[in-house]
Structure 1
Amino acid sequence: MGTLGTWGAYGTPEDTRAIAAWWAQVQRPDWREQFTRSGWVDDARLDAMVEAVLAWGERPDAFMAMLGVAAVGWVGEDGILSR
């Protein structure tokens, strides 16, 4: 079995602008089509979300913290977890 943990903290203006620009990629035509076709969001809502995240990236009090964990295990042919 294997595990992985990661974290990040971002609070400088450069960091938050970069994160906002990265997030704004959801407006790419291929992603926009997938999101709207799936019914997850409509064009107006997606535009508003992008505008809001770009404005957040410019705020002097903006910050972001992330924590991620994952675990992967293998089960042998006998049904027992391998280590």
Structure 2
Amino acid sequence: IWWFDTAGLSKGQIFVNGHNVGRYFTTTATGRAAGPQTRLFLPADWLRADKPNELVVFDEHGFSPHKTKVVARPGGELD
């Protein structure tokens, strides 16, 4: 099971290989916590094994994605 961790982002959308993974709203523009969701599920069918995957992160407040990561969890557990 694959997850996208939105650490360091604020509010926006994520796309993988042209598919809209979903929206996130984790912090406000001023950095205050806004919601409980910090990870988005990445369907395995949307990921490519034979060539590089394209990940597009759009953050409405311009926060940097340098803290984000893609997490693989074989059993599906998050922590």
Shorter-chain TM-score: which interval? under 0.3
Q: Which has the bigger relative contact order, CA under 8 A and spacing at least 6?
A: 1
Larger strand proportion of the pair: 2
Of structures 1 and 2, the larger Rg is shown by 1
Task: Return the TM-score normalized by structure 1.
Answer: 0.23
